[in-house]
Chain A
Amino acid sequence: MSDIMKNFSVTINVWRQNSASDKGSMVSYPVNDVSPAMSFLEMLDVLNEDLIKKGDSPIVVESDCREGICGCCGLVIDGNTHGPDKNSTVCQLHMRRFKDGDVITVEPWRVKSFPVIKDLAVDRSAMENIMQAGGYVSVNTGAAPDANAVLINRADAEESMDAAACIGCGACITACPNGAAMLFTAAKISQLALLPQGHPERKERAINMVEAMDKEGFGNCTNEYECEAVCPKEIKVSNIARMNREFLIANFLSNK
C-alpha cells in the first residue's frame, strides 16, 4: 500500500454548544485511525461513535444527502467556509486533504440570523422565510399542461438553471463580511425571473423577497464578492445585479 493510503491521526478542535442560550466553547478531541478515503463527515461519525461509547454526548452536525445536492451540511473548517476545496460542500470533502498530526478547527455558520441549535447545527429558518415571501410560482392545479405550450429559449433556460443550482446551504451568508443574504435571495429571484412561468408574480416577488430578507436581519451588500468565492454551486454575483435590477424596476416602474 502506498504511503498516501496509510491511516493517520488528527485532532479536531470543535465548537460545542448545548443550546442557543448556552455560551459554547471550543473542545479538542483526538481522532485516530483516520482513513484518507473517509469523508470529513464520516470522520466526525467515527468520532461520535467514540464519544457515545465513552458516555459523552455526540457532536450534533447536520447532513442529509452527503452528495452535495441538498444543502444540509455546512461547516467552517480551519476558517474556510465549506472547507478548503472550492465549489464543494463539506460532505464532498475527504480526509485525504489532511495529513497526520493536523489540528482541524471546526465551527458552525456564525450568522446572527442563524441561531445555534446545538454544537454545529444552526437554525436556517430565516432562509425559509425569504422563500415563503415569494420564492415560488402560483399555478392552477388541474390537468397537466402541454410541455411545449410555453416556449423558452435555450440561453434563458440555461441561465435559470444556473441560478436554480443554489441548494440553499447558507455558505454565502456565512462568508459575507456583512452577513448579507444577497446571493441566496438573488439566485431564488433569478431562477424565476428568467422563465415565463415566473413573470406574472415577478414584481411582487422581487419586492417581497427583498423586504423579507431585510426583515430577517441579514446585512447590507457592499459588493465584496466573497459569497461567489465560497458558493459550492458557483452561483455568480451577476445574479445579485439582476436582483437589484428586478427590485429597482419593480419599485420605480410598476404600481407595486
Chain B
Amino acid sequence: MNLVFLRRIITTSIGRKLIMAVTGLLLVGFVSFHLMSNLVLLNGQEAYNTYVEHLTGVPFLLFIELGLLSLFLTHILMGIYVRWEDYRNSPSGYKKRNWQGGRTIGSATMLYSAVTILIFLVYHIITFRLSDHSIGFYEMVTNAFRDPIFATIYVLGGLAMVLHLSHGVQSIFQTLGINHQKYTPFIKLGGWIIALTMAAFALLPLIFLFGLESHFMGMLH
C-alpha cells in the first residue's frame, strides 16, 4: 500500500492548507445549519422544543457529535500548528513595515477571531451541551440570552465568526485551486455575504436581551 499521498497531506504546506480548507468548508456547512436551527427560537417555545427534540432524537447522535468534535479539533489543532510554524518562519525584526493592501481586516485578525471563537465555543458547550436540560431547551436558551454577560459573550462570538469567515470563505476557494478572473469577484462577494449572515448569531441573544422576540413571532414559518 502506498500511503505517500496521505503523508504529503499532513507534512506539506499545501496539504495542511487543504486540511484547513476542507474542515473550514464543512464547518461553514455546520454553522449554517446551526444558525437556521437557532432561528427557530423566534417561532416560540413550542416550535423550538419540538424541533430540538426531533434533532436530538436522530439515531447515532453520539457518532454525529463525535464526528463534529473531530472536525473542530482537526481545524483548531492544524490551525494552531500552521500558525506556530508561520510565527517561526515569518520575516521579523523590521524597524518599519507597511502592509501594501493585500491583507484585509479579516485576514489580519484570523488568529484573534479564531481564539475568540474557541473561547466562545468552550463556553457554549459547557453552558448548553453539558448542562442540565430539564427546564426545557427553549427556557434554558432564552433565560441565558436574557443575561447580559451571557449575551455579550454570544455577541462577541458571532462577530468573531463574521471576521473569521470574511477571509475564510474566499480563502477556501483559493486553497482548493479555484481562482479565476471571471468568478473570483463573485466568490469574494459571496464570502462576505456568508460572513455577514453570521451576525445573526449575535443578533439572536440581543433580541431576547431587549425583549423584542414578540415582534418576530411567527415571521419564520
* A222 CB contacts on chain B under 8 angstroms: 82, 86, 107, 110, 171
As a 0/1 sequence over residues 1 to 37 of chain B, the CB contacts with chain A under 8 angstroms (1 = contact) are 0100100110111111110000000000000000000
The B96-131 residues at the A interface (CB cut-off 8 A) are: 96-103, 107-108, 110
Judged by a CB distance under 8 angstroms, whether A36 is at the interface is: no
For chains A and B in complex, what number of residue pairs have CB atoms within 8 angstroms?
147
B-contacting residues, A146-203, CB 8 Å: 173-180, 182
Task: Determine chain A's interface SS by DSSP, over half rule.
Answer: mixed
Instruction: Judge if A39 is at the interface, Cβ distance under 8 Å.
Output: no
Q: What's the tally of chain B residues with a CB closer than 8 Å to chain A?
A: 47
Check B39 for interface membership: any CB of A closer than 8 A: no
A219 at interface, CB cutoff 8 A: yes
A75 to chain B, nearest CB (A): 12
* B90 pairs with A178, CB closer than 8 A: yes
* Residues on the B chain within 8 Å of A178, using CB: 86, 89-90
Contacts of A230 in B (CB 8 A): 100, 102
Q: What 1/0 mask marks residues of chain A from 77 to 90 whose CB sits below 8 Å from any chain B CB? A: 01111000010000
Interface flag for A223 (CB, 8 Å): yes
Known: A179-B86, A210-B13, A220-B16. A26 touches B175 (CB 8 A): no
Q: Are B107 and A224 in contact (CB under 8 A)?
A: yes
Please state if A107 and B96 are interface contacts (CB–CB under 8 Å): yes
Q: 0/1 per residue, A86-110, Cβ < 8 Å to B?
A: 1000000000000000000101011
Q: Mark B30-57, 1 if CB is under 8 A from A, else 0.
A: 0000000000000000000000000000
The answer to whether B171 touches A218 (Cβ under 8 A) is no
Q: A204-256: which residues lie under 8 A (CB-CB) from chain B? A: 207, 210-211, 213-214, 217-230, 237-238, 240-245, 247-248, 251-252, 255
Q: Give residues in B with beta carbon < 8 Å to A.
A: 2, 5, 8-9, 11-18, 82, 85-86, 88-103, 107-108, 110, 167, 170-171, 173-181, 184
- In the complex, 6 of the A-B residue pairs with CB atoms within 8 angstroms, ordered by the A residue number, are A80-B100, A179-B86, A180-B13, A210-B14, A226-B99, A251-B8
